[in-house]
Amino acid sequence: MTSTSLPDSLIATLPGTSYTDPAIFAQEQEFIFESMWFCAVRSSELAKPGAFRTVDVGRESILVTRARDNSIRAYFNVCRHRGARLCTEEAGEVKRAFQCPYHAWTYGLDGKLVAAPNLTKMPDVGRTEYGLTPVATREWLGYVWICLAESPPSFDEDVIGEVVTRLGDAGAIERYGIESLSVGNRITYDVKANWKLIIENFMECYHCATIHPELTEVLPEFADGFAAQYYVGHGAEFGEEVQGFTVDGSAGLDRIPGVAEDQDRRYYAITVKPQVFINLVPDHVIFHRMYPVAVDRTIVECDWLYMPHVVDSGRDVSRSVELFDRVNRQDFDACERTQPGMGSRMYAKGGVLVPSEHHIGAFHDWVHERLGTHPPQ
Ligand code: FES
Ligand SMILES: [Fe+2]
């Protein structure tokens, strides 16, 4: 059967190999994750100069740090001498320089080569020229976004533009003041599934009635299968009896003051391709970043962000964390249940999308466009 013989209600998905073939994953690393803006680190994790995090972006390890002048810097985590990995820890802090553990080439927080054994006997070695290789950075919503491309695409078009497409205007997200919220909780999920299964899952709500009893209790319209992402600017309304976005519908925490009247008691979901999902509710923001590590494995780091005084005063945020933690586990279980089927010969030509999932077809077109491939005719 070919895709052209599908009934009007159905459109084809990507073929199974798209989720299982390491060669396709390598292309995605090159043409998606190493070419686009990638949300790497919460800025507040780099609280002072010398604090650092290392992040895998595509096939590269990137070192993100804060320099003496408080600016955020990112570098390839590769020594300019003979290529040893400079920092092996996921996070940490150095006093004033990064020293390679192999032959002790030492780099300032600004990336310059500041010391090396016998360096004075090599006056022709440029300190900047042989410094760490920088990567483009941008801070937005309190996160450090980095881009490995030599000429990065427009951040305003690619990243902010995606939010505008979803919400109608950038002000709709900026009102939440996400950059000044505090991390009340962070959970890291190790999901044994291809990153695209996670995006596709996040984009549709056809599964909500089946696997998300707590979520559909709070957002009754989700039981119909149409995700908040289906309509531009639409936020799903809380159920009448629901007081807050919590696991039992009990009251949430203090409302974020900038939230507009028409955004109150509503839930917004945004996908910023290729690896960010943002959920907005009146008293907190749930910010997910995916780190694809293999064709069949994706790490998802999820932050629950609240007003700083809520976090500082030690208020109990567990009921709101529990709601979306359950949703995440329900979703990631579904993705892990789907991953093995991607390798089945029955799924070689892929599956189908029903009308409430048809917008996922645009995501598939986008994947084809990035990789320069075409859907099978
Ligand atoms: S490889 Fe880093 S100092 Fe030699
Ligand atoms: Fe879900």
Stated as kind and residue range, the H or E segment containing 171 is helix 171-174
Is there a single domain that holds both residue 81 and residue 98? yes
The bound ligand whose nearest atom lies closest to the alpha carbon of 198 is 2
Per-residue pLDDT at 230 = 58
Q: Are 170 and 160 in contact (CB under 8 A)?
A: yes
Measured in degrees and rounded to the nearest 5, phi and psi for residue 236 equal -75, 135
173-183 pLDDT, tens digit each: 999 999 999 99
Region 94-121: what's the mean pLDDT? 97
- Given 122, 152, 182, the domain boundary residue is 152
Domain of residue 60, residue span: 37-152
Pocket of ligand 1 contains residue 81 by CB under 6 Å = yes
Residue 224 has pLDDT above 80, yes or no: yes
Indicate the residue among 120, 152, 184 that finishes a domain.
Answer: 152
C-alpha of residue 121 to centroid of ligand 1, in Å: 17
> Domain ends where: 126, 152, 178?
152
Smallest CA separation from ligand 1 atom 4, residue: 103
* Tokens read off for 187: 């959970």
> What is the per-residue pLDDT for 105?
98
Range scoring the smallest mean pLDDT among 74-78, 167-171, 281-285: 167-171
Question: pLDDT by residue (tens digit) across 181-213?
Answer: 999 999 999 999 999 999 999 999 999 999 999
Q: Residue 1: is its pLDDT beyond 50?
A: no
High-pLDDT (> 90) share of the chain, %:
89
Report the C-alpha gap between 67 and 101 in whole angstroms: 21
Q: 337 in ligand 1 pocket by Cβ < 6 Å?
A: no
**Which residue's CA is the closest to the ligand 1 atom numbered 1?**
82
Q: How far is the CA of 193 from the centre of ligand 2 (A)?
A: 15
Written as six digits, the tokens of 132 are 């760490």
DSSP class of residue 116 equals -
Q: Give the distance (Å) from ligand 2 centre to CA of residue 208.
A: 6
Q: Using 50, 70 and 90 to split pLDDT, how confident is the model at 260?
A: confident
In this structure, is residue 59 part of a structural domain? yes
Residue 100 CA: nearest ligand 1 atom is 2
Angle between helices 195-203 and 318-342 (to 10 degrees): 120
**Ligand 1 close to Cβ of residue 82 (< 6 A):** yes
List of residues 6+ apart from 108 with CB closer than 8 A: 96, 97, 114, 131
| Nearest ligand to the CA atom of 105 | 1
Residue 135 has pLDDT above 70, yes or no: yes
Mean pLDDT of 308-312: 97
Confidence of residue 117 (pLDDT cuts 50, 70, 90): very high
If you average pLDDT over every residue of the chain, what do you get? 94
Closest ligand to the CA of 103: 1
Collect residues with CB below 5 Å from ion ligand 2: 331
Q: Please report, for the domain that includes residue 259, its CATH number.
A: 3.90.380.10
**318 lies in some domain:** yes
- The helix or strand, by DSSP H or E, that contains position 372, with its residue range, turns out to be none
**Structure confidence at residue 5 (pLDDT):** 85
Ligand 1 atom at minimal distance to the Cα of residue 83: 1
Cα 98 to ligand 1 centroid, rounded to whole Å: 11
101 C-beta closer than 6 A to ligand 1: no
Q: Measured between alpha carbons, how far is 228 from 225 in angstroms, rounded to an integer?
A: 10
- Give the position, in ligand 1's atom list, of the atom nearest the Cα of 103: 3
Q: Is 102 in the pocket of ligand 1 (CB under 6 A)?
A: yes
Cα 119-125-131 angle, rounded to 5 deg = 95
> Do both 27 and 41 map to the same domain?
no
Atom of ligand 1 minimally distant from the CA of 82: 1
Query: Percent of the chain at pLDDT above 70?
Result: 97
Residue 377 lies in a domain: no
Q: Could you tell me if 209 and 232 lie in one domain? A: yes
pLDDT per residue as tens digits for the range 8-45:
999 999 999 999 999 999 999 999 999 999 999 999 99
Distance (Å, whole) CA 143 – CA 50: 17
* Same-domain pairing of 231 and 279: yes
